Structure 1
Amino acid sequence: MSSSRRGPEQPGPRRILRTQTAGNLGESIFDSEVVPSSLNEIAPILRVANEVESINPRVAYLCRFYAFEKAHRLDPTSSGRGVRQFKTALLQRLERENDPTLKGRVKQSDAREMQSFYQHYYRKYIQALQNAADKADRAQLTKAYQTAAVLFEVLKAVNLTQSLDVDQEILETHNKVEEKTKIYVPYNILPLDPDSANQAIMQYPEIRAAVYALRNTRGLPWPKDHKKKPDEDLLDWLQAMFGFQKDNVSNQREHLILLLANVHIRQFPRPDQQPKLDERALNEVMKKLFKNYKKWCKYLNRKSSLWLPTIQQEVQQRKLLYMGLYLLIWGEAANLRFMPECLCYIYHHMAFELYGMLAGNVSPMTGENIKPAYGGDEEAFLRKVVTPIYLVIKQEAERSKAEKSKHSHWRNYDDLNEYFW
């Protein structure tokens, strides 16, 4: 059993967010503004304001003005922590910058200024990067699309204030940007969107082999209301069936591909260069991932839930599903990772449910294909599995602090973990 003596910690279950790690992370994002957590929706707008200020100070002012209005809508009474001070500081800055930026405005109105700058930004930055797609930094293009999306949001607000319709040409440009923004999402190491197949890292045979294997979704029973998207893979199916968070799925997709590729590349004799995952690499990664789970099963004298099909063509897909499920559980476990046997218990039952789904088992109550015990709707795993267990941990931690009692009167991670031995 892999466990160590630890006292309770407090952060708790949380939503997983994907952030752009490539690019210049050293630059100051908000200057002197510190955005309160309750107003995090305006952070991208202020980031864009800082980005375009050197090019067009009036557009930067309009972005900040829109951010101020949005902050007021989000918290009209300024009751959130730090909101009143933040809004006051931002308002004072807007009052200082209004007249100077107005004098430097090129067009006759703010609406025209925004439209002109939006077209300029699209031509100079996005089109230029697209035309040099084989040389361009993928992170720069992603950032440019995100900036353009924010600029259009501000443009719409300014035009609405001045009762001016948005030009048709700009609407068409925005439709192109919106379509690409859905594709060009933040990533850590691997750009897995359809437009990134020509990126150097995606040309490695080991990466291509792992990606190709994960995209084998043949025979999987998708939910009836599922909307198909390009390049769906096994982790998309696990998300749809078990209710994992979207960004957790993105993180663990990269994680699993890199685990497989790193082991694949070290195989000797070297596998051929075809996009086919080496079975030795697959088995080695699986052995490492499930080492503690198999010890747990042996300790409790339970049969493992890692049941493989008799049809050889389906074995690789099943192994990848088992590994993907384990990583997705681990990715959302947060503080539950300090209770490894608890994770084994959760995985044991969810892997059994996975087997039932793939076997086509039908619920005797509804007559539909079997679903997870907790339902499997959006973000259900976080809300219905992780959070309830964490609340018990939190309660015990509060008891230990409030009562200053002996350890025999409250439980820490190890004590709770023993319930799952």
Structure 2
Amino acid sequence: MTRTSTMYDPNGDGVDSELVPSSLASIAPILRVANEIERDNERVAYLCRFHAFEKAHRMDPKSNGRGVRQFKTYLLHRLQKNDERTKPQLARTDPKEIQKFYQNFYEKNIKEGQYTKKPEEMAKIYQIATVLYDVLRTVVNPNIIEAKTEEYAQDVEENREQYAHYNILPLYTVGIKPAIMALPEVKAALQAVRKVDNLPPVRRAGDGSKPVNDILEWLSSIFGFQKGNVANQREHLVLLLANIDRRLKGSGDYEQLGSTSVKQLLDKTFKNYVSWCHYLHRTPIIDSHKVTANADKQQLHLLYIALYFLIWGEASNVRFMPECLCYILHNMANEMHGTLFGNVQPVSGGTYQAAPVGEGAFLHDVITPIYEVLRKEAWRNKNGKASHASWRNYDDLNEYFWSDRCFKLGWPMD
């Protein structure tokens, strides 16, 4: 709760999306859309709030959650007040009204605005369109939804990922692009990361027809990393490469990412891993793999870096065990190398196809088992009262991966 129950004003027109209890957080976007479109069409805003009220009642019919009863009372009072003064403006009935408004909203803001509005504006517009269609489906009988409405909704569903929220780089937006996307170092880094035509084809779980757009999606198809992690590490990798490349080359325009920039990032990223390999008298994976003469070494180095970033991104508390991460990287890089060069297929092409892996496979198969061991050990310390000799902390467990015994484990770890 962001406000106490004493602040509810049934007669006021406050921003009701800020009053939503934490247990009903999923209805907040619906109320934000209602607030956003109220000036354009009060009746459709009323229908959005009514849908939010019904959803809140289904989620907590007995109003047991903290602040739920007060919130539902407030929303019901506001609905009753608005129902008396609102009426359809575009049609005679609510089903026709919301369909007309949805179609007009799409044509004005998406069809005409996608090449003139900024990415952050389009992200907000697509979110509103998505919520409006969800409300529309509850108000309008499926048999009378117009073909034009369905066509617009399908287009929104297919293209809204282009306007997903981003941190710094709007990588997939169309129309007006921020100035950062025109920087030569950013364009060069993106070009290098998106080079996948010469990689062995992989099948994507659940959507085999959708092609991979960059090396991170290619790795995710093999190991099952999460979409959010892939998006974060994609931006992380591009920005690191762009910053290093600009420092090395200085000002000026160029198209290709420098091989020195990639090698510098590789050496810095794998410094601890190389030390770990030398301590265990093992050849680092980045040196042991022999590649054919026509292989793209810069691309291979980028794959190694991207793989480590993706592992780190989902490692959770295992990040406190750096040598354990080295062991995970060592084995997964071997698997990646087998996919690249399996059946004597070089990086420059081939027909070798890895089996599709679903999203979350890495977290479930690799990280979760290690985390469960850490969790059990943490419970054994009895809130710090138990003797240290009776339980193991992160360093104790990580020490196992400082010995050659770890290579006797099965992979994934037994």
Report what 1:410 is aligned to. Answer: 391
- The counterpart of 1:33, out of the listed 6, 16, 20, is 20
- The counterpart of 1:113, out of the listed 90, 97, 100, is 97
Letter in 2 for 1:186: H
C-alpha distance in structure 2 between counterparts of 1:182 and 1:297, whole Å: 41
Report what 1:59 is aligned to. Answer: 44
Q: How many residues are aligned here? A: 376
Letter in 1 for 2:159: K
Long gaps (5+) in structure 2: 1-13, 345-350, 403-414
Report what 2:8 is aligned to. Answer: none
Q: Is the 8 A contact 1:235 1:253 kept in 2?
A: yes
Superposed displacement of residue 78, structure 1? 6.5
Query: CA 1:40–1:117 in structure 2 vs 1: closer, same or farther (change >3 Å)?
Result: same
1:304 aligns with 2:284: yes
Report what 2:174 is aligned to. Answer: 195
Q: Is the 8 A contact 1:215 1:232 kept in 2?
A: yes
C-alpha distance in structure 2 between counterparts of 1:98 and 1:308, whole Å: 69
**SS at 1:411 equivalent:** coil
Report what 2:327 is aligned to. Answer: 345
Report what 1:382 is aligned to. Answer: 363
1:48 aligns with 2:27: no
1:400 aligns with 2:381: yes
1:294 aligns with 2:294: no
Q: Is the 8 A contact 1:357 1:369 kept in 2?
A: yes
Q: Is the 8 A contact 1:361 1:370 kept in 2?
A: no
**SS at 1:58 equivalent:** helix
Superposed displacement of residue 341, structure 1? 1.1
Query: CA 1:398–1:371 in structure 2 vs 1: closer, same or farther (change >3 Å)?
Result: farther
TM (norm. structure 2) is 0.81
Letter in 1 for 2:37: V
Of structures 1 and 2, the one scoring higher in RCO (CA 8 A, sep 6+) is 1
1:174 aligns with 2:153: yes
Cα deviation digits, residues 327-377 of structure 1 (max 9, x gap): 000011122111111111111111111111111159xxxxx96969xx943
Superposed displacement of residue 110, structure 1? 2.3
Letter in 1 for 2:284: S
Query: CA 1:230–1:267 in structure 2 vs 1: closer, same or farther (change >3 Å)?
Result: same
Report what 2:410 is aligned to. Answer: none
C-alpha distance in structure 2 between counterparts of 1:332 and 1:52, whole Å: 38
Report what 2:258 is aligned to. Answer: 278
Cα deviation digits, residues 58-94 of structure 1 (max 9, x gap): 3333223223333454566777xx3x742x3343133
Matches within 5 A, 1:212-291: 212-224=191-203, 227-229=208-210, 232-268=213-249, 273-291=253-271
Matches within 5 A, 1:115-194: 115-127=99-111, 129-132=113-116, 136-160=117-141, 165-193=144-172
Q: Is the 8 A contact 1:196 1:202 kept in 2?
A: no
C-alpha distance in structure 2 between counterparts of 1:131 and 1:237, whole Å: 30
Letter in 2 for 1:60: A
Higher mean C-alpha deviation, range 194-203 or range 350-359: 194-203
Cα deviation digits, residues 226-252 of structure 1 (max 9, x gap): 635467111111010000001111111
- The counterpart of 2:296, out of the listed 311, 314, 325, is 314
Cα deviation digits, residues 304-336 of structure 1 (max 9, x gap): 111352325511111111011000000111221
Long gaps (5+) in structure 1: 1-26, 363-367
C-alpha distance in structure 2 between counterparts of 1:279 and 1:333, whole Å: 29
Query: CA 1:216–1:308 in structure 2 vs 1: closer, same or farther (change >3 Å)?
Result: farther
Report what 1:19 is aligned to. Answer: none
C-alpha distance in structure 2 between counterparts of 1:281 and 1:387, whole Å: 34
Superposed displacement of residue 411, structure 1? 1.4
**SS at 1:195 equivalent:** coil
C-alpha distance in structure 2 between counterparts of 1:95 and 1:219, whole Å: 59
Cα deviation digits, residues 129-171 of structure 1 (max 9, x gap): 3252xxx3211111111110110110111113xx771233333
**SS at 2:198 equivalent:** coil
Q: Is the 8 A contact 1:42 1:70 kept in 2?
A: yes
TM (norm. structure 1) is 0.80
Query: CA 1:377–1:389 in structure 2 vs 1: closer, same or farther (change >3 Å)?
Result: same
Higher mean C-alpha deviation, range 227-236 or range 149-158: 227-236
Q: Is the 8 A contact 1:111 1:164 kept in 2?
A: no
Higher mean C-alpha deviation, range 407-416 or range 314-323: 407-416
Query: CA 1:387–1:291 in structure 2 vs 1: closer, same or farther (change >3 Å)?
Result: same
Superposed displacement of residue 216, structure 1? 1.4
Query: CA 1:389–1:76 in structure 2 vs 1: closer, same or farther (change >3 Å)?
Result: farther
Report what 2:306 is aligned to. Answer: 324
Higher mean C-alpha deviation, range 213-222 or range 383-392: 213-222
Superposed displacement of residue 275, structure 1? 2.1
**SS at 2:281 equivalent:** coil
C-alpha distance in structure 1 between counterparts of 2:248 and 2:146, whole Å: 58
